[in-house]
Structure 1
Amino acid sequence: MTNNYAPIYPHDPIIEIFENIYLLRGSIKLGFGFSMNRNMIILKQDGELTLINAVRISEPELEKLNNLGQIKHVIRLGDFHGLDDQFYIDHYQATLWSQSCHVNYPNLVPHQIIQADQRPPIKNSEFFIFEQVTCPEAILFIKDKKLLITTDSIQYWNDWKYFSFLGKVVMYLMGFRLGLFIGGPWLKRVTPKQGSLKSDFTRLLELDFQHLVAAHGVLLKDSAKDKLRLLINNLKI
């Protein structure tokens, strides 16, 4: 077992956003004077927990997490995330789910490969795979809750919590604003040259969802599909 883990950064307590679905708003320091928010989603089913976009947390909050259920699965949906996955894999012998051929954190070798036809470890759910991207990216769709769980592809922000002054300035200059958006750096990184992700987002809109929660920002309830459709129609993707 390795002890070479990232430090624990400031975070909020775990809150329940839907029945058996929990959100922890956390943070990360990316460089001197540069910090920003990030989220962990926790799914509970039959006494077992699945962590999405895993975030290391303080001992008191980890105890609360343990009291929720047994940590069994860690799902890595996007290439930019995975910093704290190894901690939960080592300490809980959790099964790692991800696509193959990640560029970032390449030593995170999945036990289960995420594919469109692969059944997730959560009932009434399915994986949505971005097929046109140059780096792996997926979404978990919780059907009965009509909820999309994303990483960097689609995000909703209504505050700048956990952003340092420098972090806020840099992100603002990069085009980040409050509201629903498709991550600009993510889109630039994963779109093929002279290519488009239009077909991927068109397929995504065929799913029956209303809500969205990402690896950054906050929960968007009820209007996620309408806002995303309008966003896609107004963007060149």
Structure 2
Amino acid sequence: MCNQNEIVNHGEIKEIFNDVFFVTGTMKNEFFGSMWQFSRNMTIVREDGNLTIFNSVKLDEEGLKALDQLGKVTNVVRLGDMHGIDDSFYINRYNAKFWALPDMTIESSLKIDKPLVVGGDLPVKDSSLFVFTTVQRPECIIKLNKEGGIMIACDSLQNWVGPDEFFDDSTVETMTQMNFFQPANLGPAWMHTSQPQADDFIRLKEVNFKHALCGHGTPLLHKAQEAFHDRFKEAFNI
């Protein structure tokens, strides 16, 4: 797994919607017996000058200066059990509150300050929480009730339409063979590890949204709900 002290390459922070930002960086990890290098995304939401980080990606000093210009990091949110290597960096640097599902695997150096519970407090205003209940590893999605509905997802929903500059060549070949590069996809590694069942996606179809900012891939804008519903039907015949 990527060392927390290692600075990895990343792109610029981009404002996708008003006060909703997105940045893509690098991840290195071992999967299925080999080392992979691929891209991952961090979403940042600003409210009243405070920043909430979802799917943390460690930035270099220039990136951190750009982040600080946006506001003060006050919340760090772990949406998926397979992410989180950079959470402690932001929590320690900014003394931020840590939000996660109660049963997530958390490093011994961290504690969950605010458990993510349906009907409970959430890190951003005017939002809602969807929790997968059939999975082997905890995973959730937070929906922002703005712009017609913005889903902030981790590994469950992905939109890797193709490899980018943060991949190495061997990983591109491997992930192409494993069908990772598909629009509005359900994360293949997540599907393999977490084994979600159709019941979760039947419930997810009841959530209305237009856009998806996922832990992997490019932002899927305007037609995200239709695209993911097609994928649910393909995967689960629902």
Shared fold (TM-score, shorter chain, > 0.5): yes
**Structure 2 residue aligned with 1:14:** 13
CA deviation after TM superposition for structure 1 residue 107, in Å: 4.7
Query: CA 1:144/1:42 → structure 2, altered by over 3 Å: closer, same or farther?
Result: same
User: Within 2, Cα distance between the matches of 1:127 and 1:106?
Assistant: 26
**Structure 1 residue aligned with 2:124:** 122
Counterparts of 1:1-237 in structure 2, within 5 Å, are 5-30=4-29, 34-103=36-105, 105=107, 107-145=109-147, 146-161=149-164, 162-191=166-195, 197-236=197-236
CA deviation after TM superposition for structure 1 residue 79, in Å: 0.4
**TM-score after normalising by structure 1:** 0.91
Count how many residue pairs are aligned between Structure 1 and Structure 2.
230
User: Within 2, Cα distance between the matches of 1:104 and 1:91?
Assistant: 18
RMSD value, Cα: 1.7
The answer on whether the counterparts of 2:51 and 2:73 sit within 8 Å (CA) in structure 1 is: yes
User: Within 1, Cα distance between the matches of 2:179 and 2:163?
Assistant: 14
- 1:112-142 CA-to-partner distances (Å, cap 9, x unmatched) read 1111112312111011100111211000100
The answer on whether the counterparts of 1:155 and 1:216 sit within 8 Å (CA) in structure 2 is: yes
Aligned-residue identity in percent: 31
Counterpart AA for 2:126: N
Counterpart AA for 1:154: L
The answer on whether the counterparts of 1:39 and 1:215 sit within 8 Å (CA) in structure 2 is: yes
The answer on whether the counterparts of 2:99 and 2:123 sit within 8 Å (CA) in structure 1 is: no
- 1:152-202 CA-to-partner distances (Å, cap 9, x unmatched) read 0010123311111111111122221231110122112112xxxx5211111
- 1:79-106 CA-to-partner distances (Å, cap 9, x unmatched) read 0000000011111100000012324646
User: Within 2, Cα distance between the matches of 1:178 and 1:130?
Assistant: 22
**TM-score after normalising by structure 2:** 0.91
User: Within 2, Cα distance between the matches of 1:79 and 1:19?
Assistant: 28
Counterpart AA for 2:181: R
